[in-house]
Amino acid sequence: MESTFAALKAEISVLNVYVKSAIKEFSDSKRSDDVIINQLTVSNADLQSLFQTKDKEIKEMEEEIRRLYSSIPGLSVEMEDVVVDSRIDYKLLSQKILKVTTCQDISNVWTADAKYITLKKSYRISLENELLCWENSVSTLLEYVYACNLKKLVLINQQICLKEYQKLLASEKIEEVEFRRVQVMGEYDELLRIDEILKDMPNIQSFVYKFRDDEFKNKNAARETSKKLGKLLPFRSLRVFRLLNLQKGFKLGKFIK
**pLDDT single digits (tens) 139-167:** 999 999 999 999 999 999 999 999 999 99
Give residue 19's pLDDT.
Answer: 46
The mean of the pLDDT values for the chain is 82
**What DSSP string runs through the chain?**
-HHHHHHHHHHHHHHHHHHHHHHHHHHHHHHHHHHHHHHHHHHHHHHHHHHHHHHHHHHHHHHHHHHHHHHSTT-EE-GGGSEETTEE-HHHHTT-EEEEEEEEEETTEEEETTEEE---TTSEEEEEEEEEESSS-HHHHHTTEEEE--SEEEEES-EE-HHHHHHHTTTS---EEEEES-EEB-TTSPBPPHHHHHTT-TT-SEEEEE--TTS-SSHHHHHHHHHHHHTSPP-TT--EEEEES--TT---GGGT-
**Residue 254 confidence (pLDDT) above 90:** no
- pLDDT cut 90: percent of the chain above it: 49
pLDDT, tens digit (0-9, with 9 covering 90-100), for 186-228: 999 899 999 999 988 989 999 999 999 888 877 787 888 888 8
Q: Could you tell me which residue, 8 or 115, shows the higher pLDDT?
A: 115
| pLDDT at 120 exceeding the cut of 50 | yes
More confident residue, 232 or 3: 232
